[in-house]
Chain A
């Protein structure tokens, strides 16, 4: 099963190496990993998507907690979080296809961020499913290149429905 771990770590050199090294050394399967500074510059937040059964996830969390630089781990369950993935997609788009591509982009609330004679580059954010669906549809036009950020996620405040 897929788990999204939100991990607060000290913003220090080599922390990423420690974390990613732990995953490979302990044979944990990492699906995506994202790092960025938090509102406090001394801390970073990593969003780590891991796959494994309950025992594996328990070990992942415990082993992560052993690292001196790890401050806090939150296991975000699927129903109680806000999850975002972002993709930049460069898609073939000649003059005749333009209106069609723009329509699709509009439906998915994407944004065209670059335009050339033969291609457009689209930015889209959303949960993983939405982006996967968007990519599927764009495949008809011919995708030249894709980059995805992987998931970032936060706990949803309980007061907000």
Chain B
């Protein structure tokens, strides 16, 4: 039995968990760990801000399905992880974060760079630890990885006093986990599944509402089988984009505030909603009293606390989406549902996603469609947060899971650029495109250095409208066009990228757009394209916050009653 330092135990434990890459930023309290990493067969990606490390680990996890790992030092290093952890927590993404901590002898004395990161991160992690005895370290790491990826995934933080990293212990990596209070339910109750099948078989106007849980549990194939067998139209949450091919005739695209009209109409008219791995977030339901007023609800989710939390559920099924769907599929009948599908086809024809064509400006919607046209189905789109994110959600048409990486629940500006670092490292052979706004790009643009240093061939496209677009849109629509603090004075992004050694160009004229895009996709290294788009372009359709899904603002009529 080898005797190792805490730092060495940590590295060996990571190897047992098949970790081959970690994202981090060194500091005083984690020097022993960095020393152990120096000659370990683990790639360390040096970011330029700890928030970037957390987002990169998150992007890595979202795009690969593996656990992302990040490292920060104590105090400010640890607190800089907070936004990244909260982002991962809200979207149920498995991350294990290690933070350095003051030595145990100084804990609680306000010593240099000491902060109670365990206390700070309790509400934004699935679980967290402080290891005060090196003998516990291997067990804690084993538990942390297990907790992060099992059940409803989420971030786990391990706080490590520096003396624990330095002191020695026998290295035994435990085989078993003993967590009596943590027993996730993977298999749905069969009687409930039968009940769900009956409801589906008796339903005339069912709609599947699929979310991030389908992607987390790799259940896209089963979802598609179910939808096609029982001819059920599928709408997704933002997090669920890619879980069902959007080029399929059964696809309704995204639901909710910026969802398609036909998805929102279908939900409003449905007699049965089959929610799979979704949490019925307020951005999706609008005013809860008017959500799916005629529908019974089947809710499949691995987290029992999600059931009946936001909407009243008729058939609750707690379990892993993939397992539940596998059992459900043989029980549902092949039904044609011609009438319902015809209604939906009509809506799609009458109320397509729509924007006004313009030859003098680059329309962001057109830009997204063009990116789709010039890339293949394995391309991974990563976004920041704001208008560009919604256009990327509406107009790209995702056909595969894990190809749309975005901060959904927390809506974290500054997520996209660092997340794309993790995505590209996890998917070295895939084309990674970061779609960004000029506002959110500036929140973590220092990660351009990480991209350059690792020569990650990420295509960064800034939809530059010189404003905080989504806030500006709300101000226009709901605050009498009083643009308080939303008009930005930006740096020259092309020069900025060049300062980081990244090839860059700007495009303003629609005539030049196609060629610019082709150029960046053909280029083998990292590249930034600054696209000037009109300042007053809005995201439509839009359900005002707290409104009914039936009443959407759109371009032509602004407030339009449902017309089906």
Question: Are B122 and A21 interface neighbours, CB within 8 A?
Answer: yes
Question: Are B309 and A69 interface neighbours, CB within 8 A?
Answer: no
B179 within 8 A of A: yes
Cβ proximity bits A98-110 to B, threshold 8 Å, 1 near / 0 not? 0000000000000
Question: Are B305 and A71 interface neighbours, CB within 8 A?
Answer: no
User: Which of B180, B304, B309 is packed against the most chain A CB atoms within 10 Å?
Assistant: B180
Please name all residues of chain B whose beta carbon is closer than 8 Å to the beta carbon of A22 when the two chains form the complex.
123
Question: Are A65 and B179 interface neighbours, CB within 8 A?
Answer: no
Known A14-B122, A17-B122, A21-B123; contact A67-B181, beta-carbon cutoff 8 A = yes
Please name all residues of chain A whose beta carbon is closer than 8 Å to the beta carbon of B307 when the two chains form the complex.
62
Known A67-B181, A68-B179, A71-B180; contact A13-B130, beta-carbon cutoff 8 A = yes
Please name all residues of chain A whose beta carbon is closer than 8 Å to the beta carbon of B182 when the two chains form the complex.
68
Number of chain A residues whose Cβ lies closer than 8 Å to a Cβ of chain B = 22
Please name all residues of chain B whose beta carbon is closer than 8 Å to the beta carbon of A69 when the two chains form the complex.
181
B120-143: which have CB < 8 Å to A?
A: 122-123, 126-127, 130
A97 within 8 A of B: no
B119 within 8 A of A: yes
A48 within 8 A of B: no
Please name all residues of chain B whose beta carbon is closer than 8 Å to the beta carbon of A34 when the two chains form the complex.
none
A136 within 8 A of B: no
C-alpha spacing A13/B123, complex, angstroms: 16
| Other-chain contact of B181, A55, A59, A71 (Cβ < 8 Å) | A71
A18 within 8 A of B: yes
C-alpha spacing A72/B303, complex, angstroms: 17
Please name all residues of chain B whose beta carbon is closer than 8 Å to the beta carbon of A95 when the two chains form the complex.
none
B350 CB to nearest A CB, Å: 39
B247 within 8 A of A: no
Question: Are A14 and B119 interface neighbours, CB within 8 A?
Answer: yes
C-alpha spacing A161/B33, complex, angstroms: 61
B301-339: which have CB < 8 Å to A?
A: 303-305, 307-309
Contacts between the two chains (Cβ within 8 Å), count: 41
Question: Are A59 and B122 interface neighbours, CB within 8 A?
Answer: no
Q: Is the interface of A mostly helix, strand, loop or mixed?
A: helix
Interface magnitude class on chain B: 10 to 19
B488 CB to nearest A CB, Å: 33
B173 CB to nearest A CB, Å: 20
A3 CB to nearest B CB, Å: 17
Please name all residues of chain A whose beta carbon is closer than 8 Å to the beta carbon of B303 when the two chains form the complex.
66
A37 within 8 A of B: no
Please name all residues of chain B whose beta carbon is closer than 8 Å to the beta carbon of A71 when the two chains form the complex.
180-181
Please name all residues of chain B whose beta carbon is closer than 8 Å to the beta carbon of A18 when the two chains form the complex.
122
C-alpha spacing A25/B182, complex, angstroms: 21
A63 within 8 A of B: yes
Please name all residues of chain B whose beta carbon is closer than 8 Å to the beta carbon of A67 when the two chains form the complex.
127, 181
Please name all residues of chain B whose beta carbon is closer than 8 Å to the beta carbon of A62 when the two chains form the complex.
304-305, 307, 309
Cβ proximity bits A13-33 to B, threshold 8 Å, 1 near / 0 not? 110011001100100000000
A22 CB to nearest B CB, Å: 8
B118 within 8 A of A: yes
B147 within 8 A of A: yes
Question: Are A66 and B179 interface neighbours, CB within 8 A?
Answer: no
C-alpha spacing A26/B549, complex, angstroms: 26
Known A10-B181, A68-B127, A68-B182; contact A17-B304, beta-carbon cutoff 8 A = no
Please name all residues of chain B whose beta carbon is closer than 8 Å to the beta carbon of A9 when the two chains form the complex.
181
Please name all residues of chain B whose beta carbon is closer than 8 Å to the beta carbon of A70 when the two chains form the complex.
181
Please name all residues of chain A whose beta carbon is closer than 8 Å to the beta carbon of B181 when the two chains form the complex.
9-10, 67-72
Chain A's closest residue to B127 (CB) is A68
Question: Are A59 and B123 interface neighbours, CB within 8 A?
Answer: no
C-alpha spacing A18/B120, complex, angstroms: 11
Please name all residues of chain A whose beta carbon is closer than 8 Å to the beta carbon of B119 when the two chains form the complex.
14, 17
C-alpha spacing A71/B304, complex, angstroms: 16
Please name all residues of chain B whose beta carbon is closer than 8 Å to the beta carbon of A65 when the two chains form the complex.
304-305
Question: Are B305 and A63 interface neighbours, CB within 8 A?
Answer: yes
User: Which of A21, A65, A66, A69 is packed against the most chain B CB atoms within 10 Å?
Assistant: A66
A58 within 8 A of B: yes
C-alpha spacing A13/B118, complex, angstroms: 10
Q: A14-B118, A14-B122, A21-B122 are in contact. List 10 more A-B contacts (CB 8 A).
A: A9-B181, A14-B119, A14-B130, A17-B119, A55-B308, A58-B308, A62-B307, A62-B309, A65-B304, A69-B181
Q: Which residues from chain A sit less than 8 Å from chain B, CB to CB?
A: 9-10, 13-14, 17-18, 21-22, 25, 55, 58-59, 62-63, 65-72
Write 18 A-B pairs (CB below 8 A) sorted by A numbering: A9-B181, A13-B130, A14-B122, A14-B130, A17-B119, A18-B122, A22-B123, A25-B123, A62-B304, A65-B305, A67-B127, A67-B181, A68-B126, A68-B179, A68-B181, A71-B180, A71-B181, A72-B181
The 7 closest A-B pairs by CB, nearest first: A62-B305, A71-B181, A68-B127, A68-B182, A25-B123, A70-B181, A21-B122
Q: Which residues from chain B sit less than 8 Å from chain A, CB to CB?
A: 118-119, 122-123, 126-127, 130, 147, 179-182, 303-305, 307-309
